[in-house]
Structure 1
């Protein structure tokens, strides 16, 4: 008697590998960064008040450094208030590829907070700092203007790179333009300043050299930190803290150093003519009581 062949169990199709999409990674400030912003805002505000008080007993004709320094910290105060209060920020989102063994690659976005108010601050205050150094050294108007424009290009190029796509040649191209412009700004201030400041005496030369070297060290730290941030190698809180320290050094500390030294050195006074103190309408008049 023949036996019917028994049916054998066959393995059914296995489960299809599935992947849960990676959610968007949001790189935003935390508690430490938020607290740092408010502390820096307070430092800038108090500094502005101190610089204003220091200018009260100074004649208008000698107040140019006070005006430029006070404007620098006032602009920084507004910038930090805007950032700390949750405004003046945007997101730069970059698509990241996730590789898998048995299924096609997937993609997710990394969105990082970019505070555009910071770049507005730098675009306005950095030229004021350059102007302070140029006036102190007695640099001519042509080189002063070139230094200011180069400094402005440095900041704007940094802004364009901050909103560029990560890892793209375009982004690093803007970074390179920013660094080259920064070198040109240093060249106009440092090289020509060292040549012209000698006419003001040894004391002013030492002051300019000290302030210029200090500014060089602090300003050079900005593109270094910015390049690290550009490559997403630090979090937003660390970025905020580092920039807050640098801003405090190059604005309130630099400004106080300059104004206190200026008060003690008569050679740092600048003759801007009657326009600065009295306006163009008074040109040609005889003014009694004008200081020598």
Structure 2
């Protein structure tokens, strides 16, 4: 009886407002982006395969979990700020546990270049581990209330600051001193974009249903959907566009050199 009651309340809350609508919009956007990135990979000429694979996995994985949440999966009920039941979309944390490390890997690959990644494995592992700990502590913060929630939110924020310190410290220095894929400008653009967007995520958490409850669940879902689309689709589009332009420039430069050599001979 209690389980059936909880399931009924959960169903009503999920269907309330436009939450499901925005989840389906997000899922559709990610699946369209998956097809787009696959097309880009097929027309890339075989260069920068790692970027195409990672970018495609990111949007496909996000689309799957958005669809799961839209159909009522990967969600549960938790106690809100005022004690009222609110929907807890833990599926978004499952999404982030894979996609955020891949985003950081893409940024690291751009910054370090193809030849520098193997020499900085410690830095890459540091980024990935700090990021995963940031997400896992966020899971606990969202699923608990009062003191425990606040404590784990602070821990998650600390790990987030470690990620930023690694990005703007050793990774940025390596990108400046090395030969980043697509040039340092591409790395700087992607790092800035990721930093700004990821700073907004905890702000949404604080004002959303898992935090102070200042906005409704549909608005929270909409805000997260916008952030996810920008952090995954837009980020991937800029990254792939940058490395494609760099590859095209290198090929044209190589072709020009060959033509000049032929004229000289």
Partners of 1:239 and 1:95 lie apart in 2 by 15
Where does structure 2 lack aligned partners over 5 or more consecutive residues?
1-8, 251-265
Q: 1:135 aligns with which of 109, 113, 122?
A: 109
User: What displacement does 1:32 show?
Assistant: 1.9
Where does structure 1 lack aligned partners over 5 or more consecutive residues?
1-23, 97-108, 270-292
Partners of 1:114 and 1:268 lie apart in 2 by 47
Q: 2:60 aligns with which of 71, 74, 91?
A: 74
Are residues 254 and 157 of structure 1, via their aligned partners in 2, closer, same or farther at CA, if it must alter by over 3 Å? same
Contact 1:68/1:132, CA 8 A, preserved across alignment = yes
Partners of 1:218 and 1:53 lie apart in 2 by 26
- Mapped pair 1:245 → 2:245: no
* SS in structure 2 of the partner of residue 200 of structure 1: coil
Are residues 202 and 258 of structure 1, via their aligned partners in 2, closer, same or farther at CA, if it must alter by over 3 Å? closer
User: What displacement does 1:59 show?
Assistant: 4.8
Contact 1:116/1:159, CA 8 A, preserved across alignment = yes
User: What displacement does 1:94 show?
Assistant: 5.3
Contact 2:61/2:99, CA 8 A, preserved across alignment = yes
Contact 1:29/1:237, CA 8 A, preserved across alignment = no
Partners of 2:132 and 2:221 lie apart in 1 by 22
Q: Which has the higher helix share?
A: 2
User: What displacement does 1:69 show?
Assistant: 0.3
Q: 2:215 aligns with which of 234, 240, 245?
A: 234
Contact 1:136/1:268, CA 8 A, preserved across alignment = no
Q: Deviations 1:101-148 (Å, cap 9, x if unpaired)?
A: xxxxxxxx4111011110000111000000000111116111111111
Q: 1:112 aligns with which of 64, 86, 98?
A: 86
Partners of 1:132 and 1:126 lie apart in 2 by 10
Q: Which has the higher strand share?
A: 1
Q: 2:143 aligns with which of 152, 163, 166?
A: 163
User: What displacement does 1:29 show?
Assistant: 5.1
User: What displacement does 1:80 show?
Assistant: 0.6
User: What displacement does 1:200 show?
Assistant: 1.4
Across the two proteins, how many residue pairs are aligned to each other? 232
Tell me which residue corresponds to 1:152. 132
Mark the structure with the bigger radius of gyration: 1
TM-score (norm 2): 0.81
* SS in structure 1 of the partner of residue 18 of structure 2: helix
Contact 1:83/1:115, CA 8 A, preserved across alignment = yes
TM-score (norm 1): 0.74
